[in-house]
Amino acid sequence: MRSRLFGGVTVVEVLVAIGMFALILFGIMQVFEPSTLAYPSAQQTVNAQRNGRTAMDLMVREIRMAGYFPENADTTPENDQSDAVELATDAALAVAGDLDGTGASRTVLFCLDAGTLRRVHGPRGAASSYSCRGGTVLAQRVERLAFAYYDATNNPLPSAPGRAAYDLDGQAIGAVPSVATATERGAIRRVVITVSATEAVPNQPPQSYTLTSDVRLRNP
C-alpha cells in the first residue's frame, strides 16, 4: 500500500491558497494605497505654502525698506526723494525707495489681480507702476490680500472704524497717486499683511492657508 503522507496538493488546495494570498495582498494594498495617494497631496500643499511664504518674505523685506532713498545722501539736492508710502489701500500697497539694492529709488506695488498676487516694479510717477497688470507673479490661487496700517502709537489708519474698504488720503490703485495731501500715508509706521490662498489637492477637498506678517518701516 502506498503512503499518502507525501502526496501532491489538489487543485482545490491550490485555489484556496491563491485565494488566501489574494485576500492578504488586497489587505496590504488597502493599508498602503491611502498613504501613497496622500503623500503627493501633502507635498503639493507644502509646496503651495512654501511659495506663499516666499512671497510674504519678499513683501516684508521690501516694505520694511520703504523710504530708503540713496539719492538723499548725495550732494545734489535736486535728486532728493520723499514719500515712502505712495499708495495704501485695504488690498494694495505701493512703496518707494531703493528696495532691491540697485542704488536707485523706484516704486514697488503689491496687489491682487484675479487670484494672482503680483509685484509691479517701475519708475516713480509712471502710470504703469500703479496698475496691477504685468509685473512679477508672487503667488497664485490667492483669495485675499489685505493690508492694515498703524501710526507711531499703534493707532489704526484710517482712524474711522468699520471701513472694510478704504484708500488712505483718497488715493486708489490704477492712477499716479497725488502727494499733495499725504497726511494718512505719511503717518504709517507699521503694516500688517495677510495673505489667504487655496490649493487644489487631488483626491481631497481644497486646502486653505493664511499667512500674516507684521512689518515696521525702518525709514519712514
Beta carbons within 8 Å of 117's beta carbon, 6+ residues apart: 55, 110, 111, 137, 138, 139, 140, 142, 145, 195
CB 140 within 8 A of CB 115: yes
More confident residue, 38 or 212: 212
Domain boundaries, the chain: 52-216
CA quadruple 112, 117, 121, 122: dihedral sign? negative
> Distance between CA atoms of 216 and 61, rounded to whole angstroms?
10
> Which range (93-97, 155-159, 169-173) has the least confidence?
155-159
Residue 163 — very low, low, confident or very high, per pLDDT cuts 50/70/90?
low
**Pick from 67, 101, 70, 103: which is nearest to 83 by CA?**
67
Give the predicted TM-score (pTM) of the model. 0.76
Residue of 102 and 65 predicted with greater confidence = 65
| Greater pLDDT, 32 or 30 | 30
Order of strands, edge to edge, in the sheet holding 85-88?
Answer: 85-88, 93-97, 106-113, 116-122, 136-139
Instruction: Tell whether omega for the bond before 158 is within 30 degrees of 0, i.e. cis.
Output: yes
**Among 211, 199, 177, residue whose Cα is nearest residue 95:** 177
Higher pLDDT, 203 or 38: 203
Residue 162 has pLDDT above 80, yes or no: no
**What is the grid cell recorded at 110?**
503689491
Residue 204 has pLDDT above 80, yes or no: no
Average pLDDT over residues 55-77: 86
